[in-house]
Structure 1
Amino acid sequence: MYPIDPIDLRRAIVANVSAALTEDVADGDINAALIAEHSEAHARVITRESAVICGVDWVNEVFQQLDAGVALTWRVRDGDRVSPGDTLVELTGKARSLLTGERAALNFLQLLSATATRAAHFVAMLEGTGVNLLDTRKTLPGLRLAQKYAVTCGGGQSHRMGLYDAFLIKENHIMACGGIEAAIKAARALAPGKRVEVETETPDELGQALAAGADIIMLDNFSLEDTRAAVATTNGRALLEASGNVNADTLVGIAQTGVDYISMGTLTKDVTAIDLSMRLFIEH
């Protein structure tokens, strides 16, 4: 829905990696210092489980910031599917550098691949329905762009990036503004070029949002019956996004009602890291 800007993504990658290395290495890796300074090594990263890969640029950036002399040879690209035992990347360089960067690099690769894998699972369930799967702002702090990019690698789409690029008028905003119509009117006056989405919880609120000219209407925890009725009532006058109580058991049924989008917070907040391993070989 809202494409990820490649310039913003690049800036995020640099910042993500800088923060991760500061957190892990601080003023020096005393463990790597146990190894001879000029010792060279070769390493390869393998996956122990099936996954959709994401995080190549984060791994590259880890070693760019640590030691630009490390050479990486990737066997996969973001979005590729892999099987247990597959080699993802091979690295050659100073043993100290490989070991110092190992954890930060694998943390990014295992988390983002897990996010992409989870998104791909749900996207596959929606095949043939014509419904687009959206992420939410329920991301790990500091890693929003990273996780949203990972969702796109799994075939999903990015919802608004934050509180600045589109309106999502929710229950508390509606109450504070004095109603749905007043909230939409205020949004149009404040930022005429921004898309306005309104969260609704009842068919009556849906009607108010339609009458006030919302661009997108979120159907929050609507029953399947009410969702089908909402699609018929809306009849193309606004895009419809279903949200709330969406899981593997309910996803397809919701999609079959005819909504345009389904959003799932679980895509980014409930991921389990992919099991990866780096194997190091000292070159004598």
Structure 2
Amino acid sequence: MTTLDFPLDDARRLVDIALDEDLGPDALDVTSTSTIPADQAATGHVVAREAGVLAGAPVIALVLEGVATRTGGIPPSLEVRIADGTRLVPGDVIAVLDGPAQQVLMAERTLLNVMSRLSGVATHTRRWADALEGTGCTVLDTRKTTPALRALEKYAVRAGGGTNKRMGLFDVAMVKDNHVLAAGGVGAAYTAIRARYPDITVEVEVETTEQALEALEAGSRFLMCDNMSTDLLRATVAAARAWAGERGEGVEIEATGGLTLDVAAEYGATGIDYMSVGALTHSSPIIDLALDLA
């Protein structure tokens, strides 16, 4: 089973917080401990209730371990049958848990909450990746993530066939209109970043072909075309690539702003390299997963 570079430390932190929320300071499930003998065994199946793309299966083991640690119990055995990134159909058995029934039920909601969320992101991303297939354009995520879930949500994007852009404000410089205004121009903003961080990637946001050429003259080789029509975007791509080609250089071009699945292929065919979509992480509905006792 591929892990797609699963962010294990981030997942552990999330599971700790989630279990603290669900089990409280005394690690209690008052219903299960009252109605189920401590030595009663159970088999639980984590199943898909709807079609989608799986993400987050490694979380199951972390939740089981976390519950056992908190309660002093024995964690159920675990068999994960489906790898992250796999397309699901209703009824697919993702994993099988065997062990103390109390432990299984204490873990149920936490593992389902995380996996349903991540699988929703992966499923949404897969729709964009499928829509762009054959265009040469790759779908990117953004920083519009759920606080404290960024590493996991970006992992889910990868599981769905997308690509991560920047992880935060620290790894890519993105010059937007406020930076241009504060610095006194595109050239001044680019020069200031390059002087302080000579090895960092610098992307410049543009809204017109003229601004794109200005950014190239300033030194940027990564353009983010914001809220352009397909005609304007196609013209900007052609002008930018011609400018760079005359100098024997390359340029990467990204489109963003107001994009929907209905027009993804049309925009992807304009010659852009990337399409960034904040909705991958801020507006993906969950995928319905369940844990059924056999």
Alignment match, 1:21: 19
Q: TM-score, normalised by structure 2?
A: 0.90
AA aligned opposite 2:19: L
SS of 1:89's partner is strand
Deviates more, 1:221-230 or 1:22-31: 22-31
Alignment match, 1:117: 123
After TM superposition, give the deviation of residue 117 of structure 1 in Å: 0.8
Q: How many Å separate the matches in 2 of 1:162 and 1:58? A: 23
Alignment match, 2:177: 171
Alignment match, 1:251: 264
After TM superposition, give the deviation of residue 172 of structure 1 in Å: 1.0
Query: Would you say 1:276 and 2:293 are equivalent positions?
Result: no
Alignment match, 1:55: 56
What stretches of structure 1 of length at least 5 have no aligned partner? none
SS of 2:261's partner is coil
Alignment match, 1:33: 33
**RMSD over aligned Cα atoms:** 1.6
Alignment match, 1:145: 151
Q: How many Å separate the matches in 2 of 1:64 and 1:169? A: 44
1:154-195 per-position Cα deviation (integer Å, ceiling 9, x unaligned): 111001000111101111111111111111111101111110
AA aligned opposite 1:266: A
Alignment match, 1:12: 10
Please list every run of at least 4 consecutive aligned residues from structure 1 whose deviation after the TM superposition is greater than 3 angstroms: 4-7
Aligned residue pairs total 277
Deviates more, 1:177-186 or 1:65-74: 65-74
After TM superposition, give the deviation of residue 93 of structure 1 in Å: 1.4
1:250-271 per-position Cα deviation (integer Å, ceiling 9, x unaligned): 2111111100100111111111
Alignment match, 1:238: 251
Q: Is the 8 A contact 1:114 1:274 kept in 2?
A: yes
1:202-261 per-position Cα deviation (integer Å, ceiling 9, x unaligned): 222212111011131100001111111111111154210000111012211111110010
Q: How many Å separate the matches in 1 of 2:199 and 2:150? A: 24
After TM superposition, give the deviation of residue 145 of structure 1 in Å: 0.8
Q: How many Å separate the matches in 2 of 1:46 and 1:69? A: 20
After TM superposition, give the deviation of residue 6 of structure 1 in Å: 4.0
The 5 A counterparts of 1:39-188 are 39-67=40-68, 69-188=75-194
AA aligned opposite 1:100: M
After TM superposition, give the deviation of residue 5 of structure 1 in Å: 9.6
Q: Structure 1 residues 135, 24: closer, same or farther in 2, change over 3 A?
A: same
SS of 1:249's partner is helix
AA aligned opposite 1:17: V
Q: How many Å separate the matches in 2 of 1:63 and 1:17? A: 10
After TM superposition, give the deviation of residue 79 of structure 1 in Å: 0.7
After TM superposition, give the deviation of residue 10 of structure 1 in Å: 1.7
Q: How many Å separate the matches in 2 of 1:202 and 1:120? A: 30
Q: How many Å separate the matches in 1 of 2:181 and 2:226? A: 16
Q: Is the 8 A contact 2:137 2:274 kept in 1?
A: yes
Q: Is the 8 A contact 1:239 1:260 kept in 2?
A: yes
Q: Is the 8 A contact 2:55 2:84 kept in 1?
A: yes
